[in-house]
Amino acid sequence: MLPDAPATVFSRAFLSALISAGVRDIVLCPGSRSQALALAAAEEEAAERVRLWVRIDERSAGFLALGLAAETGLPVPVIVTSGTAAANLHPAVLEAHHSGIPLLLLTADRPTELRGIRANQTTDQPHLYGEAARLSLDIEAPAAEVDEIARAREYAGRALTAALGGPGAARRPGPVQLNIAFRAPLSSAGPASPSPRESAEEALLAPVFPEPAPREPRVLERGPRTVVIAGNGAGPDAEELAHRGGWPLIAEISSGSRYGRNLVVPYREMLADPEFGGLVERVVVFGQPTLSREVPALLARAGVQAIVVQPGEGESYDPGHNAEVAASCVVAEGAADRAWLAHWIVTARELIRERSIDTAPDLEAAHSHDPATRLAYVRGEFAAVRAPIDRRVLVEALWRATWPHDRLVFGASRLIRVADEFLTGKKVSVFANRGLAGIDGTVATATGIALASQADNPTGVTRVLLGDLTLLHDVGSLLRVDGESAPRLQVIVGNDGGGTIFDGLEVSDSAPAALAERVLFTPQSVNLESLAAAYGWEYRRVATRADLDQALTAPTLGPVLIEAPLPR
């Protein structure tokens, strides 16, 4: 038997080292230059050591990996060939950079002798992603005279460490590029050899995920009137600090902190009110707030002390250019300011009651001896369930249908802002690509979240709520790959025929209506039922509250596209 090609030896050893360190998922797109990595990944899947996901579109693949990594917290390798394939990962790389999500970008490339001579499918790939990459390595083509197993393991360890924040997790997690040159033969021509496995001694060479180095927390004194703000990806630490400090909690819908008795839902009105926002002296920020103008205005206001909690180094949220960055915060001993918290919570509850659209059924009328009273009750109940859907009805129905074993994903559209404005506290897992708040890859991201969360969960459903343009921008991610498990995924599309988010921005008052319609609203009339059929998805159209509740709670065995027509 002929010896394995150096490209194959390196690829097998590299992926084996990643998997031994804990990597659970690999995403790849087909390509000639990357074939050794692809075949090695297929061997690992056949050996049941890793889950492999194949996509034909690199942009979709990048966001699929992003969703997998967002759910698991583990780095996800993405294997692509050279040229535009590597460039198509860039949107997902930028989102991962700003959101702190670990990705390993394995971009195949030509060897040195084929660069700079206009060779086919060759461009300047090293350091392609600039400062967005935590580490960028240009790796020489594997060669027969080199110990490729040792070299592969060294690169695997460096890549994992950097993706998870560097030595001692000094930085935020993020994307890492390994630009790997491959020289012909691009893979072994003969039967595949078994993947290298570590012996007891070799296992010591396997990379391990770095443990965060302990850092001194910032001690918060009790005195200043404080609010805690949780932006996207903040996690439970924000709610815990607000609870311990006895401070109001402002938690965006995708923060992972939107629960607890200190939660203030109508925060926009209250931050704009001098009796509330005007009295704030200190703000503690977790995550990345993106869904209101009142929050950055508060942090930029003179006299407000801003503390941003960020475990690792990197770009921090600082709209006022005056924030103090802390790795963590603890509350000093002493009595909490109960009057300050009560001032917020009591008013917040009153505002929620005032704007409620649901009323409790009149049970006395339902059992009245007066036929006219009973008939009026029945008509009222029928009218409620047959009422048309608007944005608020849509987000509230989705919230009711989602439980802790489910996952909920919001696209970048008007709907996430409506959800943030009205939805009350609930401890469920919510995701959104708010690092750059783009509409790119929302379906792919949600698919990754669904696949990862359902790997060991036989009951959960992932629901993604997005606008029609957000769906159409990522329509290629509806493609189901034969031979792969189908996630339990509901894609709920609020279809208002275009980009109505611009109707609420300043441009709607300044631009001529016809011009804004043409270049901003961008009307569309795609038949979503036909689109679903083309990709093999189940399709449902909902027009009333009853239709919507039934569609959201129906048994979901695979991907379903739910269309909810909305008024502009």
DSSP string, 4-63: PPHHHHHHHHHHHHHHHTT--EEEE---STTHHHHHHHHHHHHTTSSEEEE-S-HHHHHH
- Cβ atoms of 428 and 403 within 8 Å: the answer is yes
- Cβ atoms of 247 and 226 within 8 Å: the answer is yes
pLDDT digits (tens, 9 = 90+) for 99-138: 999 999 999 998 888 777 777 777 878 999 999 999 999 9
Q: Is the pLDDT of residue 204 over 50?
A: no
Beta bridge partners of 462: 407, 489
- Cβ atoms of 288 and 233 within 8 Å: the answer is yes
Instruction: Quote the CA–CA distance of 443 and 406 in Å, as a whole number.
Output: 16
Any idea which residue has 């609870």 for tokens? 243
353 Cβ neighbours under 8 A, 6+ residues apart: none
Instruction: Quote the CA–CA distance of 160 and 173 in Å, as a whole number.
Output: 10
| Average pLDDT of the residues in 40-51 | 97
Instruction: Quote the CA–CA distance of 229 and 317 in Å, as a whole number.
Output: 12
Q: What is the mean pLDDT of the chain?
A: 90
CA 322 to chain centroid, in Å, comes to: 28
Q: How many CB atoms lie within 10 A of CB 374?
A: 14
518 secondary structure, DSSP code = I
Instruction: Quote the CA–CA distance of 203 and 12 in Å, as a whole number.
Output: 15
> Which tokens belong to 555?
């048994």
Q: Is the pLDDT of residue 466 over 90?
A: yes
Q: Is the pLDDT of residue 199 over 50?
A: no
Instruction: Quote the CA–CA distance of 468 and 295 in Å, as a whole number.
Output: 28
Look at 193-207, 224-238, 335-349, 469-483 and tell me which has the smallest mean pLDDT: 193-207
pLDDT digits (tens, 9 = 90+) for 163-191: 998 876 678 999 999 999 999 998 986 55
Q: What is the 3-state secondary structure (H, E, C) of 313-360?
A: ECCCCCCCCCCEEECCEEECCCCCCHHHHHHHHHHHHHHHHHCCCCCC
pLDDT for res 202: 42
Look at 393-397, 470-474, 500-504 and tell me which has the smallest mean pLDDT: 500-504
Sequential DSSP letters for 138-176: EEPPP-TTS-HHHHHHHHHHHHHHHHTTSGGG-B---EE
- Can you say whether residue 39 is alpha, beta or left, with left for phi > 0 and alpha for psi between -120 and 50 degrees? alpha
Q: Is the pLDDT of residue 459 over 80?
A: yes
Three-state secondary structure call for residue 202: helix
Q: Is the pLDDT of residue 456 over 70?
A: yes
pLDDT for res 117: 74
Position 382 confidence tier, pLDDT thresholds 50, 70, 90: low
- Cβ atoms of 198 and 338 within 8 Å: the answer is no
- Cβ atoms of 160 and 207 within 8 Å: the answer is yes
| Stated length of the chain | 568
Look at 9-13, 203-207, 320-324, 468-472 and tell me which has the smallest mean pLDDT: 203-207
pLDDT digits (tens, 9 = 90+) for 130-162: 999 999 999 999 999 999 999 999 999 999 999
Q: Is the pLDDT of residue 563 over 90?
A: yes
Beta bridge partners of 175: 103
Structural domains of the chain sorted by starting position, each given as residue range(s) with its CATH number in brackets? 6-186 (3.40.50.970), 218-354 (3.40.50.1220), 385-565 (3.40.50.970)
Closest by Cα among 70, 72, 30 to 50:
72
pTM: 0.91
Q: What percent of the chain has pLDDT over 90?
A: 73
Beta bridge partners of 229: 250, 285
